[in-house]
C-alpha cells in the first residue's frame, strides 16, 4: 500500500440539511472507478449513566428502519463544533440532564464504504436533571434501564442500533 489512490474528480450532486452527496472518480494504479459518497459533519453520541446504575435511552421512530428503535442520545455536530460540546448539548436536549463528567470512550466511522460520518462516543456521569429541549421534529420518549439489562436486550435483539450497542458494550466493560 505504498501509494494512495488518486482522486480524479469530485462532483456534488445533492446538498441537504444533514448531509451532501458527491460522486468521486478515483484511480488506483491502472484501475479507475467511481464512488458515491455521503458527506456528513459527524455526530456526538452519549451514554448517560445515573448514580443508580440505570441508563437513559430514547425510543423514536426511524423511518429508514421502518420501526421504533431504542437508542442512546445522539446528534449531528454543528460545523466546527467540538464533539464533547455536541455530546453535552444532545444530552440536555434529548434526555433533559447535564453531566458533571463526560468521558470520551471512542470514535468510529459509521459505514466508511460510502459515508464520511464519524461518531464520537461519550460516557456521561454525575447527572443532574434539567429540562428536555427537543427540536420540533424530535418525537421521542426517554426510558431508563439498568446497564446489565441493556446487555441482555442487545443479546435478544431488542436493541438493534449499532452506536447504542457499541456504547453499551463499552459502558459495561468500564462499569
**Hey, which residues are catalytic here?**
135
Q: Using CA atoms, how far apart are residues 121 and 128, in angstroms rounded to an integer?
A: 20
- SS3 label, residue 171: helix
Report the candidate in 158, 173, 175 with the shortest Cα–Cα distance to residue 71. 158
**CB of 74 closer than 8 Å to CB of 90:** yes
Phi, psi for residue 117 in degrees, rounded to 5: -60, 130
Please report where in the chains the cell 441482555 appears, as a residue. Answer: 152
Question: What would the grid cell of residue 72 be?
Answer: 442512546
DSSP result, 62-120: ETTTTEEEEE-EEEEPPTT--HHHHHHHHIIIII-EEEEEEEEEEEEES-TTTB--EEE
Amino acid at each position: 500500500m505504498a501509494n494512495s489512490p488518486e482522486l480524479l474528480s469530485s462532483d456534488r450532486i445533492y446538498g441537504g440539511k444533514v448531509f451532501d452527496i458527491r460522486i468521486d472518480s478515483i484511480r488506483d494504479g491502472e484501475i479507475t472507478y467511481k464512488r458515491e459518497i455521503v458527506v456528513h459533519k459527524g455526530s456526538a453520541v452519549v451514554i448517560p449513566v445515573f448514580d443508580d446504575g440505570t441508563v437513559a435511552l430514547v425510543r423514536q421512530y426511524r423511518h429508514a428502519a421502518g420501526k421504533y428503535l431504542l437508542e442512546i442520545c445522539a446528534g449531528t455536530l454543528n460545523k466546527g463544533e467540538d464533539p464533547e460540546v455536541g455530546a453535552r448539548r444532545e444530552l440536555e436536549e434529548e434526555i433533559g440532564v447535564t453531566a458533571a463528567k463526560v468521558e470520551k470512550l471512542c470514535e468510529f466511522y459509521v459505514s466508511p464504504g460510502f459515508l464520511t460520518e464519524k461518531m464520537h462516543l461519550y460516557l456521561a456521569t454525575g447527572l443532574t436533571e434539567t429540562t428536555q429541549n427537543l427540536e420540533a421534529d424530535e418525537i421521542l420518549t426517554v426510558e431508563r434501564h439498568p446497564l446489565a439489562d441493556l446487555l441482555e436486550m442487545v443479546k435478544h435483539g431488542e436493541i438493534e442500533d449499532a452506536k447504542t450497542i457499541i456504547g453499551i458494550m463499552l459502558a459495561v466493560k468500564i462499569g
